[in-house]
Amino acid sequence: MHPGVAAVSTTPSPGLTPGAAGPADPVSLPSHEADAATLARAAERSAGDLLAPPTPIRLSDVVPAPRQVDPAPADDWLLPPDAVIVASADPAVLTVAAHLAELLRPATGYPLPVTDTTRPAPGGGITLTLADDDSLGAEGYRLTVTRAGVTITGATATGLFYGAQTLRQLLPPSIESPTPVTARWTLPGGTITDSPRFPLRGAMLDVARHFFAVEDVLRVIDHLARYKLNHLHLHLTDDQGWRIAVDSWPRLTTVGATTAVGGGPGGSYTKADYLRIVAYAADRHVTVVPEIDLPGHTNAALVAYPELAPDKVAPPPYTGTEVGFSYVDPSDERTYDFIADVLGEVAALSPGPWLHIGGDEAFKVKGEVYTGFVERVQRIVAGLGKTVVGWHQLAPAGHVDGRVLQWWGTNGGEDPATADAVRRGARLIVSPGNHAYLDMKYAPDTPIGHDWAGLIDVRTAYDWDPGTHVAGVPTTAVLGVEAPLWTESVTSLAEIEFMLLPRLPAVAELGWSPRTTHDWDGFRERLAGHGPRWSTAGVTFHRAPEIPWPATPAVPGQRPAAREGVNQT
Ligand code: TNX
């Protein structure tokens, strides 16, 4: 169990939904006032809170906003204690069914057996079915709630998985409780028909500036899956540390992983660790995009192997936060042996199609030397059967089949070189530094983060369009959107969550929802309902002032579940 969950003291009371509004602290009384009459008044008030009906969830409350919502209020369905989850015998469908059961069992306390029989349960059940429905696409689903239960239909197991995530959001926030809660588990009646706008929706975690344990990465994957994000980009190497084991160049981790920003101990993933992350992600329909940043951001590699350095001298280990000073020697053949070995081993561990080769801020490798280097590395990636991804600095290099550039500029999308690369066949992942960089502070007083690309409050994270952001790049060339989290100032899971939430759902909505649903006022209302979900799950988040969060739930004897500290705002 991760520390966030362990930190929650969940003492749920019958009928109380954590999302329900109530007085901040109905029973905290100075002991000298705790006479019988006062206690009776307090008991009456908290009983009132317990009886107050939870705010009903509407079918349209889902984040990211679904393509189409057709409510049928007369068809609300109450999940009965004996509900079953019916899934076809297809192993991928059974895995989704098992995942859904795991999401719903802790809070409901219901057994929710998974069965492949078609015998209907007396009180109705949840049915997952695969269907040949081209209109749903590779990731879409249809979710129908009637008085007989819920049916989720998808053309693929991925569609069913996203339908299950939607179902979770249609239940009261106390569904996030790690321990049983007495509640009415009502689902709003009607049909949601849903599919994504862009095929690639992701987040990046920089595990190089600060290292994060496998368990922390798994929690990040949970957050991605909850909002239908399907890619986790891991920035595995940088000046301050090399974080992935490479058998053919062992000193990369035995030497290169021992540092981190600020002088911490660093760390690295063994191949087994990395495979665990990849497998956990795959179970949640998330593809890992590994990044080996080249030719710059390589100080840790040069400390481990000075032969790769232009002057063949080991630089001192680096624990600061400057960029652009290090590079592997582009004129030495040994450098390309190194790159082929490293990328070969990383490719072999990564079932996804992508290899991210960085390419940013290599200030000392210029002009044709830079493009020549990139073209060689692109050929190495192609030779491994993978598709090149790189920061948009790769743009001037020659095209290689399928290559993808990641735009991180901050100037509103003006970059003729990137537009030209797209004309030559590149596709784009859009991550504007001034909208999608989750390491930017929310406001001047945000305790961690940067501001070089601007302050990014929730509205700034939400109010832009990945489909039209980069000038001269048609929406059809946009593969998707990614929110990067650089971690120079981020040192723990709580701090990761604080920077991700609530902005990650904003970026997720840009990637998933049709542009016609884009509406800040509606979004902030829907997003507000997620505060109680995160609190109940023990997830840290920033109580951004522009979001109308419901009042902190009044649970006698319970402190708010979200670990405050970084989110004491
Ligand atoms: C720029 S964005 C970088 C990173 C830093 C980040 C800090 C990019 C491709 N490079 O090396 O961590 O700024 O915000």
pLDDT in tens, 6-52: 232 222 222 222 232 222 222 233 333 334 443 344 344 444 344 44
Residues involved in catalysis = 361
Higher pLDDT, 74 or 34: 74
Cβ atoms of 466 and 198 closer than 8 Å: yes
Question: How far is it, in rounded angstroms, from Cα 521 to Cα 555?
Answer: 29
- Pull the structure tokens for residue 507: 């970026």
Which of the 8 DSSP states describes residue 308? G
Atom index in ligand 1 nearest the CA of residue 408 equals: 2
Distance (Å, whole) CA 403 – CA 422: 9
Mean pLDDT over 410-423 rounds to 97
Q: For the purposes of burial, counting CB atoms within 10 Å of the CB of 476, is it exposed (0-12), middle (13-18) or buried (19 or more)?
A: exposed
Torsion on CA atoms 175, 180, 183, 185, rounded to nearest 10: 50
Give the mean pLDDT of 191-197.
Answer: 98
* Three-state SS annotation for 16-52: CCCCCCCCCCCCCCCHHHCCHHHHHHHHHHHHHHHHC
Report whether pLDDT(447) > 60.
Answer: yes
Query: Looking at residues 325-345, what average pLDDT do you find?
Result: 98
The whole-angstrom separation of Cα 221 and Cα 226 is 9
Strand order through the sheet with 141-146: 68-71, 190-194, 141-146, 149-154, 125-130, 85-87, 114-115
Q: How confident is the model over 123-160, as pLDDT tens digits? A: 689 999 999 999 999 999 999 999 999 999 999 999 99
Nearest CA to ligand 1 atom 10: 360
pLDDT confidence of residue 120: 61
**359, pLDDT greater than 50:** yes
Query: What is the pLDDT, as a whole number, of residue 119?
Result: 66
Phi, psi of 81 (to 5 degrees): -60, -25
CA-391 nearest atom, ligand 1: 9
Which of 205, 486, 487, 488 to mutate to test ligand 1, by most ligand atoms within 8 A of the CB atom? 486
**C-alpha 485 to ligand 1 mean position (Å):** 9
pLDDT of residue 109: 98
∠264-235-207 over CA atoms, to 5°? 25
User: Could you read off the pLDDT of 479-491 as tens digits, one per residue?
Assistant: 999 999 999 999 9
pLDDT for 555 equals 41
Is 180 strand, coil or helix?
A: coil
Q: Which residues form ligand 1's pocket by a CB distance below 6 Å? A: 323, 360-361, 391, 408, 437, 439, 450, 486, 488
What's the CA-to-centroid distance between 510 and ligand 1, angstroms? 22
Calculate what percentage of the chain has a pLDDT beyond 90. 85
Q: How many CA atoms lie within 13 A of 537 on its CB side?
A: 22
Please say whether the beta carbons of 549 and 458 come within 8 A: no
Res. 81: pLDDT tops 90: yes
Write down the pTM of the prediction: 0.90
- pLDDT range class, residue 551, cuts 50, 70, 90: confident
Nearest CA to ligand 1 atom 5: 486
